[in-house]
């Protein structure tokens, strides 16, 4: 089982499809790392095609299961990560019922996810709509989002 490090570009096999992610932080939330996950068509890609300008999103994800199952491979290491950050905020809501829109959002500074929220709003600005989704996600859910070309402004609660 590999030990991912900040800057690692990881290839994760998920149900026969390949998802690529750059590790942006050490573990921050419930054992998860903040990652930049590339949008994917599921095919294996070469490192040269995975550049910061590529489409993708930031997410906090737990890699424990794919690592334990030997489905994670380190394929490159990036020294400079600033261009992989898409936001400086994370957003969350207390509304979790499927099909319901959130009436209130909590905005957190990405550097202090466990701290007090920096804003509490009923309407998201464009900057806050693009904020990373709060929480720590299992990698199978992250893979589905990568294959669907997800961006945080598509959050179903907005």
Position 128 in a domain = yes
What total number of domains does the chain contain? 1
User: What is the model's pLDDT at position 52?
Assistant: 87
Position 135 in a domain = yes
Position 2 in a domain = no
User: What is the model's pLDDT at position 76?
Assistant: 97
Whole-angstrom Cα distance, residue 91 to residue 132?
6
Q: For the chain, how long is the longest CA-to-CA vector?
A: 43
Position 30 in a domain = yes
User: What is the model's pLDDT at position 154?
Assistant: 93
Would you write out the chain's pLDDT as a tens digit for each of its 158 residues? 788 999 999 999 999 999 999 999 998 867 789 999 999 999 999 999 998 889 999 999 999 999 999 999 999 999 999 999 999 999 998 877 878 889 999 999 988 877 899 999 999 999 999 999 988 899 999 999 999 999 999 998 88
User: What is the model's pLDDT at position 138?
Assistant: 94
User: What is the model's pLDDT at position 135?
Assistant: 85
User: What is the model's pLDDT at position 29?
Assistant: 66
User: What is the model's pLDDT at position 111?
Assistant: 85
Detail the DSSP E strand segments found in the chain: 8-14, 17-23, 33-38, 56-62, 72-77, 89-92, 105-109, 119-121, 132-133, 137-138
Which structural domain, as residue segments, surrounds residue 129?
8-154
């Amino acid at each position: 089982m590999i030990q991912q490090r900040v800057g690692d570009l990881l290839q994760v096999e998920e149900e026969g499809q390949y998802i690529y992610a750059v590790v942006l932080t050490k573990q921050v939330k419930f054992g998860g790392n903040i990652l930049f996950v590339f949008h994917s068509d599921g095919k294996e890609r070469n490192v040269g095609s995975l550049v910061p300008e590529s489409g993708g999103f930031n997410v906090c994800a737990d890699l424990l299961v794919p690592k334990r199952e030997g489905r994670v491979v380190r394929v490159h290491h990036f020294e400079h990560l600033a261009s992989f950050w898409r936001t400086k905020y994370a957003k969350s809501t207390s509304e979790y019922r499927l099909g319901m829109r959130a009436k209130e959002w909590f905005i957190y500074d990405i550097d202090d996810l466990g701290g007090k929220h920096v804003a509490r709003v009923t309407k998201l600005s464009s900057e806050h709509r693009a904020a990373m989704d709060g929480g720590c996600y299992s990698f199978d859910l992250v893979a589905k989002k990568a294959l669907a070309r997800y961006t945080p402004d598509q959050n179903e609660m907005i």
